[in-house]
Amino acid sequence: MWHSTGAPVKLLNVYEDREEAEDAAEKLLGIKRLASERDSTTVIYNLFGLPTWGNLHRLGMYDLTELEKLLARRASWEVEDFVKHKEIIDALRRASKNYDLEIPNHWQ
């Protein structure tokens, strides 16, 4: 989906609660749109926006907050920190393909 400005807008997340969806939309920077759809008796809310690492972080997705904490103490990582970092980076690789984003080198 493309916004009239030419910027690619993608589905970022799906919510079952309207308030939660509206709160999430408020966190996003740039172009955003909240669309609801009904499936029999259930309403879901699709949040579309600019797929940036900043917006995904604001939504609490892909363990980006955990990655931020890990990187802040990188010099003192234990074995479990290396494992967690690998898990997060693997998930970010999948997300980067889906959203056409590049993972910053200093995260890897």
pLDDT tens profile 46-75 = 999 999 999 999 999 999 999 999 999 999
Q: Which of 108, 100, 104 is nearest to 50 (CA)?
A: 100
Return the pLDDT at 8: 81
pTM: 0.87
Residue 11: phi and psi, rounded to 5, are: -70, 120
Summarize the confidence of residues 20-31 as an average pLDDT.
96
Is residue 45 predicted with pLDDT exceeding 90?
yes
Summarize the confidence of residues 69-89 as an average pLDDT.
96
Compute the residue count for the chain. 108
Rounded to 5 degrees, what angle do the CA atoms 6, 7, 11 make?
130
Domain segments of the chain: what residues?
A: 1-50, 62-108
Residue 45 CB burial class (10 angstroms; 0-12, 13-18, ≥19): buried
Summarize the confidence of residues 80-101 as an average pLDDT.
96
